[in-house]
Amino acid sequence: MEIFIVEDEELAVKKLQKTLQAIDPDLHVAGTADSIASAVEWLKGHTQPDLILMDIELADGQSFEIFNLIEVKSPVIFTTSYDEFALKAFKVNSVDYLLKPVQKDELENALSKFRSMKKVYADKKQEDPQFSTLVKELQQTLQHKEYRQRFLVKHLQKMVSIEVDRIAYFFSDDRLSFFKTADDKKYVVDYTIDEIENMLDPNQFFRINRAFLVSIKSIDQINDYFGNRLKLNLKPTIDKEALVSREKVTPFKEWMGK
């Protein structure tokens, strides 16, 4: 089975590849893409794969845009951090999804399901219209997602509520997650950076690397950095380097230019 992976996190791609091989050595990853643009380019230049594993949230937008730019005839397993309620329609209508982090047994079950569907897709020679409708419905659902407005955190032996608008950036350090407010106050938050990323409005916050999630209001200066990366001067200042990873540079520039 030829599989195409659309995922913008390098570690997630490697984990999927490793898991696929553990499930069945005959599963072949025909290609990978880390953005909408690169996915469209790959699909235009290659025979459509038997199956696509596709993350919903990519650095340059939601992967649904791919379906607006090119005809996708392959069945798709979506991977996502969104909750089951938002994706219930996919389960009952036989278009599968997996919650991240993807577990081996869940991926194995999904692959088994798609093997049984393979002949149906092959016979139709075109995208299932029901699938197209489901994609549009899910896109609308996620576009209306309500983002986190505040965080409840501990401070001086009491709990305080901090509005998201006051937060300059989130960062991880020694397995803990923190955020700093615009007035340079630091708080511990009981979520991982991965979890926090999915709680926030992507128009206001950007994940520049594995450890940093910054508000657009916190960026004071952008500088070139070796290795085709960028270095940010943040306000308030921080004693850690805020580097935009190489694979995030292009989507970061697009985000800054919106």
Residues 121 and 192 reside in one and the same domain = no
Contact 28, 35 (CB under 8 A): no
Identify whether residues 26 and 125 lie together within a single domain. yes
Q: Domain limits at 45?
A: 2-143
Same-domain status, 171 and 235 = yes
138 with 171, same domain: the answer is no
- Please state which of the ranges 44-58, 96-110, 177-191, 243-257 shows the lowest mean pLDDT: 96-110
Same domain, 102 and 173: no
Same domain, 108 and 168: no
Based on the fold, state whether residues 13 and 138 are members of the same structural domain: yes
Regarding whether 204 and 158 lie in a shared domain, the answer is yes
Domain count, the chain: 2
Q: What is the pLDDT of residue 86?
A: 46
Shared domain for 48 and 154, answered yes or no, is no
* CATH number, residue 128: 3.40.50.2300
pLDDT tens-digit map of 156-203: 889 999 999 999 999 999 889 999 999 999 999 999 998 899 889 888
| pLDDT tier, 236 (very low <50, low <70, confident <90, very high otherwise) | very high
The yes-or-no verdict on residue 45 having pLDDT over 90 is yes
